[in-house]
Amino acid sequence: MQSDHKGRLFFFEGGPAGYFEDDPLPTSAGRYRYVPYRSLAHLRLHESLKSRGPQRCRYVIAGEKCEFTVLSSPSYGLLELAEFDSPNSSLP
C-alpha cells in the first residue's frame, strides 16, 4: 500500500477494501472510481452486495469517521454510493 493512497482508503467490516481514485473523498450520492484491494474485505463487500443488497462502508479523514452506503458496483472499479453520515453531517 502506497502512503499517498492511505488518505483515500475505505473499509468494509473493519478491513481495507480499496481506495478512491480522486480527491476530494466522496461526500454525496453518485458514482465514484476506486482501486480495489485484493483483500478479504473487498471480496466480502461484493459478496454481500450480491446476496444482501446495499452495504455500509467507512473512511477516516482527519480523525473523523464518515460512513456511507454502497448501493452497487456497476462495473469494475466503480461504486454507486449514497447515504453519507459523518460527525459534522448534522450541522446546519
What is the pLDDT of the chain when averaged over all its residues? Answer: 89
pLDDT of residue 61: 83
Mean pLDDT of the region 67-83? 97
The answer as to whether 77 is a domain residue is yes
Mean pLDDT of the region 70-76? 96
pLDDT of residue 4: 65
Q: Which domain holds residue 15?
A: 3-85
Task: Tell me the pTM.
Answer: 0.86
Is the bond into 36 cis (omega within 30 degrees of 0)?
A: no
When mean pLDDT is compared across 46-50, 51-55, 61-65, 78-82, the lowest value belongs to 61-65
Give the residue from 72, 67, 62, 58 showing the smallest Cα distance to 89.
Answer: 67
Number of separate domains in the chain = 1
Report residue 82 CA to chain centroid gap.
10
Mean pLDDT of the region 12-29? 94
